[in-house]
């Protein structure tokens, strides 16, 4: 099955219109592999036939399936481990002091894919349970892919998936064997909520999140959409919160609202954080957070 330029353009336009993500040249090689199973399942002989059906617009469910197949759901536990170590060593101790009265921390994992990032965050707290006893840890994990969210919510992973990024002790401690492989234990699933959400839409809880993670998603957005994404991410952050991006992503030249944290390279803060922090404290106190 050879993918023509015309077919790539049509699929790319469809993907960007629905999700904001571009079908970049580096991702076009995946088209054949990504759609092969769907074509077999639906009895569609060629990619051209699929394109014809999509253009006619008579099968919206097929359109959704194509988009789901084209999305890149690559992820694994503690991906690029260093940023998670940075959160544990810098951000979380600071938040523990800052929210000692409310004893509540809110985190948003945007573009969470099949959930490994969210459960990695939950593990940071679970592995230091004594220090976080009595705290409410609220981790909201979102993705534009319905199928990815369904998988994430189940907490079930194959042997291969659960071994990626986890040591044997972590795997045995935080996962239990199930019919399809391994499932995250209740202690990991309890603080995490999963929700279908497009990063380019209004954030779920504006101004509320102490930590926002959006890793390896912005790479697939056009410059215009990336600007909008940073607008959404910054509006979701609590004034003294942090943003974590992927290893190949940066705020430099992308937005004026965020800047690198000089005390924690790899994390980003709102430019007006010190002033806004007073406002946010009052805001949380008013609603009893």
Q: Which among 194, 180, 110, 191 is positioned nearest to 150, based on CA atoms?
A: 194
Residue 184 · residue 119 · CB < 8 Å: yes
What does the pLDDT read at residue 2?
58
What does the pLDDT read at residue 288?
46
Domain boundaries along the sequence of the chain = 5-70, 82-286
| Edge-to-edge order in the sheet of strand 209-214 | 192-196, 136-143, 104-110, 209-214, 237-245, 267-270, 258-260
What does the pLDDT read at residue 192?
98
Name the region of 272 (left: φ>0; alpha: ψ -120 to 50; beta: rest). alpha
What does the pLDDT read at residue 274?
53
At 208-241, the pLDDT tens digits run 999 999 999 999 999 999 999 999 999 999 999 9
What does the pLDDT read at residue 24?
72
Taking the alpha carbons of 202, 205, 209, 215 in that order, is the dihedral positive or negative?
negative
The strand pair at 267-270 and 258-260 is best described as antiparallel
Secondary-structure class of domain 82-286 per CATH: alpha beta
At 57-105, the pLDDT tens digits run 778 889 899 999 888 888 999 999 999 999 999 999 999 999 999 999 9
| Edge-to-edge order in the sheet of strand 175-178 | 156-157, 181-184, 175-178
Residue 96 · residue 131 · CB < 8 Å: yes
Burial of 181 per CB tally in 10 Å (0-12, 13-18, 19+)? middle
Query: Which residues of the chain are under the pLDDT cut of 50?
Result: 275-289
Collapsing DSSP to helix, strand or coil, 101 comes out as coil
What does the pLDDT read at residue 26?
64
Residue 29 · residue 1 · CB < 8 Å: no
Please give the full DSSP string across 136-169, using - where no structure is assigned.
Answer: EEEEEEEES-HHHHHHHHHTEE-HHHHHTT--HH
What does the pLDDT read at residue 260?
93
């Amino acid at each position: 099955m050879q993918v023509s330029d015309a077919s790539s353009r049509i699929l790319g336009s469809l993907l960007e219109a629905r999700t904001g993500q571009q079908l970049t040249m580096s991702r076009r090689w995946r088209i054949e592999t990504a759609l092969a199973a769907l074509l077999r399942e639906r009895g569609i002989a060629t990619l051209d036939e699929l394109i014809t059906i999509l253009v006619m617009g008579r099968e919206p469910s097929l359109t959704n399936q194509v988009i789901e197949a084209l999305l890149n759901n690559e992820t694994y536990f503690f991906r690029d481990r260093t940023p998670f170590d940075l959160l544990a060593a810098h951000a979380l101790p600071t938040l523990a002091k800052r929210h000692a009265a409310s004893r509540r921390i809110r985190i948003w994992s945007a573009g969470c894919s099949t959930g490994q990032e969210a459960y990695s965050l939950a593990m940071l707290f679970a592995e230091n349970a004594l220090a976080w006893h009595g705290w409410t840890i609220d981790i909201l994990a979102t993705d534009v892919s319905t199928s990815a969210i369904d998988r994430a919510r189940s907490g079930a992973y194959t042997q291969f998936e659960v071994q990626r990024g986890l040591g044997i002790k972590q795997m045995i401690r935080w996962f239990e064997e199930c019919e399809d492989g391994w499932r995250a234990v209740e202690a990991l699933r309890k603080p995490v909520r999963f929700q279908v959400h497009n990063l380019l839409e209004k954030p779920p809880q504006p101004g509320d999140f102490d930590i926002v993670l959006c890793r390896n998603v912005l790479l697939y957005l056009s410059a215009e959409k990336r600007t909008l994404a940073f607008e959404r991410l910054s509006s979701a952050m609590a004034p003294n919160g942090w943003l974590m991006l992927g290893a190949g992503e940066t705020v430099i030249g992308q937005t004026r609202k965020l800047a690198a944290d000089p005390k924690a390279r790899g994390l980003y803060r709102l430019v007006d954080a010190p002033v806004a922090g007073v406002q946010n404290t009052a805001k949380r106190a008013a609603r009893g957070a």
